[in-house]
Chain A
Amino acid sequence: MKTFSKKSVIMLLILIALTALSSACSTNQETTEEGGLSGTITLVGSTSVTPVAQELADAFTEKETGVKVEVQGVGSSAGIKASVDGSADIGMSSRNLKDEEKELGIEEHIIAYDGIAIVVHPSNEVSDLTAKQISKIYKGDITNWSEVGGKDAVIEVISREEGSGTRGAFEELMGLESDEGTLVKQDATISDGNGAVYASVAQKETSIGYLSLSYLDEQVKTLKADGVEPTVENIKAGTYKVSRPFLMLTKGEVSDATQAYLDFVFSPEGQEIVVEEGVISVN
C-alpha cells in the first residue's frame, strides 16, 4: 500500500532520527563499566522525599552507570502502597507508618529527619504561635488574625491532600486526628505539594500553611511554634517538636542494585547530600 507505507516509513525515520539525535546531544555516558551493576530501580512515594531521592539518584547513577533510577513523586500513601504490592522497588514516605500499614510486612529505613515549619506571608506581623493556636486555626475555631495578635483579616488556611505524608505528620503532631477522621476544616485550600503551598503562602498576605524544612526561603516567613524556631539544631535537640522521619520502604528481598542504592543513601556521601537538601541526616 503505497500511501500507508510512505507514511509509516516517514514516521519510522522520524523516530530513528530522534533516537539518534538524543543520544548524540545528551551528555549521558553511553559506556557501561564491565562488572558494574545494572538494572532499573523505581522509587515511588512522597513528594517531600522526592527532591532528596532524586539528588541521591543522580549522584548514585554517576557512580554506577549501568543502573537507571526512576523517581516518581506521587504521595506518601502511594509510596507505601507501591512498596506493598511490589510495583516499586522502594517506597518513599514522609510520615510514620500507621498501625495497619505496619502489619503489611514492609521494612522501614529512616534516611533522614525533616521538620515541618508553619509559614505565613512575610508581611504578617505574627511571629509566634502556640501549638494549641495552630491547631485551633486549622480546625476553624480561630478564624481571624486579630485573635492571635495580627491584623483584622480572615485567615486563609492552606493544607495538603489527605494522602500527603506532610499532612499526616502535621495532623499527628498537632492533635488534629480523631476517631472520626481529620479535624482540619473542610474549606481549607488544598494544595498539591509542598511547592504549591509555598507558592500560595508567598502570594497571599492572609495565608498560613505548613512546609517541609527543605522548602523554606525568604519568600515565606517561618513562625516559631511554642517559642521555638524550626532549625536543624532545635529539631536535633528535640526542642522543636514538629518533625517527622523520611522513610524508604522495601519489602522482602531486594535486587543488588536496590541494595547498592540504599547503601549509598546511608553512606557519608549520601548523608551529605541529605544535608545539602535542607533536611537532617540520621548520623
Chain B
Amino acid sequence: MKGNIKVNEYVLKALIWLSAIFTIGILLWILLYIVVNGIGVINWEFLTSTPREVENALWPMIVTTLYLVALSLIISTPIGIFAAIYLVEYAKPGKIVRIIRFATESLSGIPSIIYGLFGMTFFYMVFGLSFSLLSGAITLSIMVLPNIIRTTEEALRAIPNSYREGSLGLGASKLRTILYVVLPSALPGIVTAIILNIGRIVGESAAVYLTAGMVPEVPTSIMDSGRTLSVHMYLLASEMIDFDTAYATATVLVIMILVINLTANKIGLFLNRKRNI
C-alpha cells in the first residue's frame, strides 16, 4: 500500500512540475518566436512613418491606438469611479444594489463580438455615426466599465471605516470625506486597475474593427475612422502577404503590453509606499 502511495505522489508531483513548465514554456515560446521574427523589421522609420511613405509603416496605427485608449478612459473612468462610489458609500443594501451589481456582472460576461455587433448598428441607427473613433471609444468604454466599477469598489471597501468615522467625527461632510479622505487612499488600486484596462483596450480587436473601422491614416477628429494596432494585426494575419510586418506588429503589441503591465506594477507599489499604508 505504501509503495502505491509513493508512486502516486511522484506522478502527481511530476504532473505539477510539467504543468508549470508548460505554462512558462508556452509564454516564452510565444514571446520569443514573435519578437525574434519581428524585431528585425522595427526601426525608427517603421514606427513613425505612414504607410504611404514606408510600406506598411505603423505610425497611424500607433496614434489611433493611443487616441482610442485616451478617449475610452476619459469616458469610462469618471463614470466607473462615480458609480462605485455610489455603490459603496451611498446605496442602501437591497434591491437597488443587487440590480446594479447584476448589471455590471452581466456586462462583463458579454463577448466582445456582441459589443461589435451592437456598436456597429446601434450607433449608426441612433446617432448616424459611421465608422469612427467616437463609436469605437464609446463601445470600448462600456466594455471596461464593469471592471473599473468592480476594482474601484474593492479599493473603496478596503479602506477601513475608521478613516470615514474619524473624518466625519471631525466635522467634515460626507461628500468631503469621500473626496478628500477615502478616494485618495483608494487611489493605488484604482490607478493600477485603469492601467491594466489600458492593456485590455489595446488588445481588443473584434469590437474595434466593426466600430472604428480600418482606415490606415492618422485621425484628425473623433469622427474619423482609424485603424488600431490590433485591427492592423488581424488584417495582416489574414492577408499575410507580408510576414515580416505581421511579426513586427505583433512584437510592437507585445512590447506595449509588457510596458503597460510593468508600469501598473510599479505605480501600484509606488503609490502604496507613498500612502504609508
Contact = CB atoms under 8 A, between A and B. Distances in A.
A71 B214 CA distance: 8
Interface in B41-64: 48-50, 52-53, 59-60, 63
A2 B179 CA distance: 8
Question: Which 9 residue pairs spanning A and B have beta carbons closest together?
Answer: A195-B239, A199-B240, A196-B238, A70-B215, A192-B238, A15-B70, A22-B63, A1-B179, A70-B225
Given A28-B218, A72-B131, A198 B70 contact: no
Contacts of B78: 4, 8
B206 interface: no
16 contacts: A2-B184, A3-B183, A4-B179, A15-B71, A18-B70, A28-B50, A54-B216, A68-B224, A70-B215, A73-B214, A87-B124, A87-B130, A88-B130, A195-B238, A198-B240, A199-B238
Given A11-B70, A26-B59, A27-B50, A72 B215 contact: yes
A70 B217 CA distance: 9
Contacts of B52: 58
Contact of B184 (A3, A196, A215): A3
A191 B240 CA distance: 12
Contacts of A68: 217, 220, 224
A237 interface: no
Contacts of A215: 241
Given A26-B60, A58-B52, A70-B225, 14 more contacts: A1-B183, A3-B179, A4-B78, A4-B179, A14-B70, A15-B74, A22-B59, A25-B48, A70-B131, A194-B239, A196-B240, A198-B240, A199-B238, A199-B239
Interface string A77-106: 000000000011000000000000000000
Contacts of A12: 74
Contacts of A73: 214
B213 interface: yes
Contacts of A22: 59, 63, 218
A199 B217 CA distance: 25
Interface string B205-240: 000000001111110100011000000000000111
A191 B63 CA distance: 29
Interface string A159-176: 000000000000000000
B238 A18 contact: no
Nearest to B180: A2
A41 B124 CA distance: 17
B130 to A, nearest CB: 5
Nearest to A7: B77
Interface string A56-75: 00100000000010111100
A240 B83 CA distance: 65
A42 interface: yes
Given A1-B179, A18-B70, A72 B238 contact: no
Interface in A185-233: 191-196, 198-199, 215
Contacts, number: 89
Contact of A72 (B179, B213, B218, B224): B213
Interface of B: 48-50, 52-53, 59-60, 63, 66-67, 70-71, 73-74, 77-78, 81, 124, 130-131, 179-180, 183-184, 187, 213-218, 220, 224-225, 238-241
A3 B53 CA distance: 43
B215 A196 contact: no
B74 A11 contact: yes
A31 to B, nearest CB: 14
Contacts of B187: 3
A72 B214 contact: yes
Interface string A9-25: 00110110010001001
Contacts of B60: 26
B50 A70 contact: no
Nearest to A202: B240
A1 to B, nearest CB: 5
Contacts of B238: 191-193, 195-196, 199
B54 to A, nearest CB: 11
A42 B239 contact: no
Contact of B74 (A3, A8, A58): A8
B89 to A, nearest CB: 14
B73 A11 contact: yes
Contacts of A199: 238-241
Contacts of B215: 70-72
Contacts of B66: 18
A103 to B, nearest CB: 24
Contacts of B73: 11
B269 to A, nearest CB: 19
A15 B67 CA distance: 7
Contacts of B67: 15, 18
B273 to A, nearest CB: 18
A54 B60 CA distance: 15
